[in-house]
Amino acid sequence: MKILIAEDEPALRQNLQWLLEMEGYDVLVASDGNEALALARQNTPDLLITDVMMPHLDGFGLVQAMRTDMQLCTTPIIMLSAKADRSDIRAGMNVGADDYLTKPYQREELLTTLQSRLARSASLRLAQAHLHSAAAAGGGLDALTALPLKEAFEAQMAQVLQRSRENGRGCAVVCVGLHGFAKINESLGRPAGDTVLRETAQRLCALVQQLPFTHPPEHGFVGRLSGDLFLVCLADLEPDALIQRVQAILAAVTQPLEVNGQNLFLSACAGASEHQDSEIQHATLVGQAEAALYHAKPRGPGSWQLFDAAQSQQVVRRLRLNNALHRALDQGELRLFYQPQIRISDGALVGFEALLRWQHPELGWVSPGEFIPVAEESDVIIPIGEWVLRTAAAQAAQWVRSQGRDDFHVAVNLSVRQFAREDLPSLVRTVLHDTGLPPHVLELEVTESIALHSVTSTLGLMQGCKALGVQLSMDDFGTGYSSLSYLKRYPLDALKIDQGFVRNIPGDAGDVAITRAIIAMAHSFGMHVIAEGVEHREQLELLRQLGCEQFQGYLCSRPVPAPEAERFFAGYRPERASLA
């Protein structure tokens, strides 16, 4: 058994060392808190006896540092001090000491305390090893943070709930989401992101004084739900204490954090669900806390929300979609449909827009208008976007070969999240290379929301893509954060007039005026214009008069599977009923 002694008084230190060595312990000694911390990290002692007043780092600081260190947070600690006030003892216990003895110490008292702490720690370790292997066998531990993942968390929750029912005390689950974590990963790299997650995990553990895998958890415990989402179970909750606890959680995770010598200021939101009715299931609490988080998020950084059943239905669906989306790609539930784009002057085909379709096994067809925003909230938009790009490019390349022509394009919608990635041009280059698609046959559609990102980086990415020879268009123009000054600077080939304007022409004079203005402006910047959502002849006629070059819409065709889309290579002739 290895005992570490931290004591600045040489005679006392020596004395303690002899006493313990005579009892057969291995003893390490340090003369201040910093030295002790370094020794502890190197040697992982079985127990620490520490003085309170020491130079450099005092006993309180030492205990605190150990309690937030994943490796050392379960080491038993006995504080030994001449300060014998109740408040001193309380302070020692509050920072996480297991016991507090006063000087001059009694030999017997010290030895019994030491033995009982060591015995408790041994049984703790046993339980820990047991749970650890159970969790690892069930795949229940997160490799990065060593926290229980959802299933293991819920299993522990079951016990906490049981205890709450028995002792009539409250308990709650808090789901914490970091804001802007994806940006940290993208701008500083994954290792930095990992550091942020590990540090967040440690802060949360420190807050609930989690002894990893103690059984059953005393004050609560922490888990990792996914990506940047953490779970905190608050056990033995006093009535009305939840608000303060959630605020403490948010305060802890938003303390500045140093990564690679850079100070990061994180923000976070939380959702909470409190155990009230005795029938509630542990998994329900977790789901409700997560649902509440999705309600808090739109209110911005720092906000939190208690679960409210009435709000939850829509959120539950979003959650369900979010979970299912992670599998949709692997299970082949996603498909691309193609909507023809037609030149207004002569009905010739100019290209297709690739549009995602998702057939969920239980929910049926889910519209991209619903699931793309959900995908954009998590990292799943990245692999989905990449799949869309590859699939559409492969289809286009196949058409180039089978039709023997390359005077058309296939347009792919890019999410703003994809666009914010520095590696976008290299992804596009790889896809072009892998599929053998001539670059000018690929068109990338971006939306006005990219203007929210830094203009310089957006411009750089656009120019990077243009340099490869692909075409760029601005989708849904007129609905977003329009700024005419950026339009002039972006290397765009085309503007797409949003269907919101097209819908009401020619009847609505205001929308006619807007459509006319958009067309004139695009032309003055050297771009051509494509109108979306054209359903009626009258709309098409007016667009022709206003000088709009191209259109897409149900008037010609809905988005259809690739084999059906192929027939539009013959062009669009409105008089032919079969195509209209």
Binding interface with Mg ion (CB under 5 A) = 413, 445, 475-476, 532
Nearest Cα to 529, choosing from 343, 315, 311, 359? 343
Q: Facing residues of 99 across strands?
A: 78
- Chain position carrying tokens 């988080």: 293
**Binds 554: which of Mg ion, ligand C2E, none (CB < 5-8 Å by kind):** ligand C2E
Q: Which two tokens stand for residue 64?
A: 């605190």
What is the amino acid identity at position 508?
A: D
By beta-carbon proximity to ligand C2E, the closer residue of 294 and 371 is 371
Terminal C-alpha separation, the chain:
85
**Region at 189 (left for phi over 0; alpha for psi -120 to 50; beta for the rest):** left
37 close to 56: Cβ distance less than 8 angstroms: no
Shortest Cβ 514–Mg ion spacing (Å): 15
By beta-carbon proximity to ligand C2E, the closer residue of 213 and 572 is 572
By beta-carbon proximity to ligand C2E, the closer residue of 50 and 418 is 418
Shortest Cβ 311–ligand C2E spacing (Å): 25
Distance CA 377, CA 358 (A): 17
238 close to 171: Cβ distance less than 8 angstroms: no
**Binds 355: which of Mg ion, ligand C2E, none (CB < 5-8 Å by kind):** ligand C2E
Shortest Cβ 324–Mg ion spacing (Å): 23
Nearest Cα to 342, choosing from 553, 126, 486? 553
**Binds 314: which of ligand C2E, Mg ion, none (CB < 5-8 Å by kind):** none
The residue of the chain with the least Cβ separation from ligand C2E equals: 553
Shortest Cβ 535–ligand C2E spacing (Å): 4
Q: Which two tokens stand for residue 436?
A: 């053998």
Shortest Cβ 382–ligand C2E spacing (Å): 11
Applying CB under 6 A, the residues found at the interface with ligand C2E are 339, 355-356, 367-369, 372, 385, 388, 413-415, 475-476, 499, 532-535, 552-554, 559
96 close to 60: Cβ distance less than 8 angstroms: no
Shortest Cβ 397–ligand C2E spacing (Å): 18
**Binds 322: which of ligand C2E, Mg ion, none (CB < 5-8 Å by kind):** none
By beta-carbon proximity to ligand C2E, the closer residue of 6 and 495 is 495
Shortest Cβ 209–ligand C2E spacing (Å): 44
333 close to 360: Cβ distance less than 8 angstroms: yes
**Binds 368: which of Mg ion, ligand C2E, none (CB < 5-8 Å by kind):** ligand C2E
**Binds 539: which of ligand C2E, Mg ion, none (CB < 5-8 Å by kind):** none
User: Under 8 Å CB-to-CB from 460, ≥6 apart: which residues?
Assistant: none
By beta-carbon proximity to Mg ion, the closer residue of 48 and 428 is 428
341 close to 534: Cβ distance less than 8 angstroms: no
| Helix, strand, or coil (residue 337) | strand
Shortest Cβ 55–ligand C2E spacing (Å): 59
By beta-carbon proximity to Mg ion, the closer residue of 142 and 445 is 445
436 close to 396: Cβ distance less than 8 angstroms: no
Distance CA 374, CA 56 (A): 51
By beta-carbon proximity to ligand C2E, the closer residue of 110 and 380 is 380
By beta-carbon proximity to ligand C2E, the closer residue of 309 and 365 is 365
